[in-house]
Amino acid sequence: MIDTILCDEKAAWDKTVAKFGGHPLQLWGWGEVKAAHNWRVQRITIVDSNETIGAAQILLRNLPKPLNQLSYIPRGPVYKQGREDDVLAAIVNYVKHKLPCAVLTIEPDTEHPLRAKGWRQSPNNILLSRTLILDLTHTTDELLAAMTKKTRQYIRKSGRAGLDIKPVKTRQDIAACLEIYRQTAKRAKFALHDDQYYYDIHNKLGEYSQIFAAYEDNRPVSFLWLATSRETSFELYGGMNDRGQALRANYALKWHAITECKRQGIKRYDMNGLLND
């Protein structure tokens, strides 16, 4: 018999996400970030005869009247291989009876369309609908060989620019990265959250938030912000100032992040979008 059980224990939840190779957006900390910023969150595990076969972090948000609420599962659910349909059916049943909503939307961490009965492709998306994922089980030579010649040239050139690339840990250093992000947003004409949203991400994700910055003369010129789980690294944000652009610092920085994730044993590096998105 398949049961659906609420989970209210952080360590147990993150252990389940790791067990099934889940995406960082299914981690407890990401749900806490969204809960602090106008969403609600429920976390359910799906159990069959005392064996956990899947789990889903469900984000909830009110919709304008007369609609009820949106139920949303980002890059989930997680599940045991071969039990996808059972897990999806259990989630639908739970949402239907426990979470009255206008729609249940999932953006699964897979390139394959859902085969389960009753699901259909939505014309709308919350996350970017296309991305590039690097397989970090390849060697660094193989990863470089798969890149364009110009990309390899830029990586080498920016690597010779004397940049110091290191992790960002303190609130002061995060603030410096956010200043670069504001410059990037102004240049590219996109909107940002308030600063507290980004501080909350770093605090609530904890060890799963990794920020790297490239420094010239102890001043940051580019940064890259990742959310990581046991198997997947996901680019959240990044940017560079005018000096970083001149040095093409993002190339050396991203290559550093990729190789560091590989060193940590992470298997996938999700770019979170394509250049033409």
Identify the residue with better confidence: 157 or 275: 157
Q: Which residues pair with 2 in a beta bridge?
A: 48
**Pick from 163, 160, 133, 127: which is nearest to 241 by CA?**
163
Least confident of 12-16, 86-90, 124-128: 124-128
Q: Is pLDDT of 132 > 50?
A: yes
Strand order in the sheet with 219-228: 133-135, 268-270, 232-240, 219-228, 209-216, 164-167
CATH topology of domain 2-107: Aminopeptidase (3.40.630)
Contacts of 21 (CB under 8 A, 6+ apart): 78, 229, 230, 231, 232, 267
What is the residue extent of each domain of the chain?
A: 2-107, 133-270
Least confident of 4-8, 70-74, 123-127, 232-236: 123-127
Identical fold for domains 2-107 and 133-270, yes or no, is yes
Structure tokens belonging to residue 83: 């039990």
Q: Is pLDDT of 76 > 70?
A: yes
Amino acid letter for position 276: N
Distance CA 9, CA 17 (A): 13
| Residue 122 banded pLDDT, cuts 50, 70, 90 | confident
State the pLDDT at residue 27. Answer: 99
Sign of CA dihedral 204, 205, 206, 209: negative
* Beta-sheet pairing, 78-79 with 103-107: unpaired
Mean pLDDT for the stretch of residues 154-169: 92
CATH topology of domain 133-270: Aminopeptidase (3.40.630)
Mean pLDDT for the stretch of residues 241-245: 96
Using DSSP's 3-state secondary structure scheme, residue 194 falls into coil
pLDDT, tens digit (0-9, with 9 covering 90-100), for 53-70: 999 999 999 988 888 899
Residue 236 near residue 208 (C-beta atoms within 8 A): no
Q: Give the predicted TM-score (pTM) of the model.
A: 0.94
Distance CA 89, CA 195 (A): 39
Distance CA 213, CA 50 (A): 45
